[in-house]
Amino acid sequence: MALRTIAGHSLQAIGLGCMNLSHAYGHPPSAEQASRVLLSAIDMGVDHFDTAALYGFGNNEKLVGQVLKPKRQQLFLASKCGMTGVDGKRVIDGRPATLRNTIEQSLAHLQTDVLDLYYLHRWDKTVPIEDSVGELSRMVVEGKIKAIGLSEVSADTLRKAHHVHPIAAVQTEYSLWTRNPEIAVLKTCHDLGIAFVAFSPLGRGFLSGQVKDATNLVDGDIRKGMPRFQPEQAKLNQQLLSSLAAMSLELNCTMAQLSLAWLLHQGQHVIPIPGTTQLSHLSENMAASQIHLNADQLTLLAKIFEPNKISGPRYPAATQLEIDTEEF
């Protein structure tokens, strides 16, 4: 796979998001299956693994730490703080003391002395971004983390944070059907030399054609409460997939691969981190970096999935208030 740069490291163009091995999409796979996915990813050349304190309320970090420990020195390991599970509930807390407590837990869970990249998972709007990033900068000085990242922030917040300490990466949802980063933060990352890590690059399964709507999703799957997956909205969104399917057939690839390839063409600083629980999907996703799209194909895909053609916001109203990203 082609290489991309993040926090001074040359890494494979596509990383692995580990969230759904423990969190968010209903019943997670068994520990054995999750371990197979992680080990197979290494065998396929994946060297960038992304987790968070929130995922599985610590269980994802424990899983990743246990499985990856023998290869730790050869891998780029990222985790996140500022949003964790407290008494069974998701809590956003960016106070320095809380971030300090979380990094100690993360290092223990991940069985490592230092993280290559540590994100502020959400900006706690009750705490100045300068205070949260200031505490993360002290962790850099202490050698607990090598680089700082931010997640779901606006270009304005990014610049404020970058003034306190260099930001190595911004992680935000970005895909054909979620184009919000194109408003400002994608270019800001480019201008400042910051990597842009795209989570949910397959639209939480929508762009692969695997997930049509919330009707058959199991309890505990966060997509059941997301507006775009409600039957009425999903029916409208499904109409966009016919053109994606036609182009993927023409290029002899899957819709998922085509969607990832489109992302990779949006800039050398863009690094998708699709997640999966299936080995076949893992192999499929990693092969997407070999697909070349010409200017006409890129333009057509962008036009098919213009933001005004997408039905429904990406988050429920309450969750939308928690993020800082620019929105169409």
- Per-residue pLDDT for the chain (328 aa), expressed as one digit of tens each? 589 999 999 999 999 999 999 999 989 999 999 999 999 999 999 999 999 999 999 999 999 999 999 999 999 999 999 999 999 999 999 999 999 999 999 999 999 999 999 999 999 999 999 999 999 999 999 999 999 999 999 999 999 999 999 999 999 999 999 999 999 999 999 999 999 999 999 999 999 999 999 999 999 999 999 999 999 999 999 999 999 999 999 999 999 999 999 999 999 999 999 999 999 999 999 999 999 999 999 999 999 999 999 999 999 999 999 999 999 9
Residue 299 · residue 245 · CB < 8 Å = no
Q: Hey, what are 107's tokens? A: 């290092």
Q: Is the dihedral of CA 193, 5, 8, 141 positive or negative?
A: positive
Residue 81 · residue 119 · CB < 8 Å = yes
Dist. CA 212–CA 227, nearest whole Å: 13
- 3-state class of 182 per DSSP? helix
Residue 256 · residue 281 · CB < 8 Å = yes
| DSSP of 43-107 | HTT--EEE--STGGGGHHHHHHHHHHGGGGGGSEEEEEESEEEETTEEEE---HHHHHHHHHHHH
Q: Is 55 a catalytic residue?
A: yes
pLDDT of residue 84: 97
Q: Is the dihedral of CA 177, 180, 184, 185 positive or negative?
A: negative
CA distances from 11 to 41, 52, 217, 223, 229 (A): 14, 20, 34, 30, 33
- State the Cα angle at 275 between 9 and 96, rounded to 5°: 60
Strands (E) located in 127-224: 148-151, 167-173, 195-199
Q: Hey, what are 90's tokens? A: 């998701």
pLDDT of residue 2: 82
Residue 283 · residue 154 · CB < 8 Å = no
Strands 270-272 and 195-199: parallel
What is the identity of the amino acid at 162? Answer: H
pLDDT of residue 4: 98
Residue 323 · residue 152 · CB < 8 Å = yes
Element (H, E) at 24: none
Dist. CA 299–CA 279, nearest whole Å: 31
Of the candidates 21, 48, 116, 133, the one whose C-alpha atom is nearest the C-alpha of residue 82 is 133
Dist. CA 277–CA 36, nearest whole Å: 9
> Top-level CATH class of 3-205+261-279?
alpha beta
Strands 89-92 and 83-86: antiparallel
Dist. CA 123–CA 59, nearest whole Å: 23
Dist. CA 114–CA 7, nearest whole Å: 14
Determine which one of 55, 119, 174, 315 is catalytic: 55
Dist. CA 318–CA 304, nearest whole Å: 29
Q: How does DSSP classify residue 19?
A: G
What is the identity of the amino acid at 198? Answer: A
User: For the chain, what percentages of helix, strand and coil (3-state, to nearest 5) are there?
Assistant: 50, 15, 35
Alpha helices in 110-184 (DSSP H): 129-142, 155-164
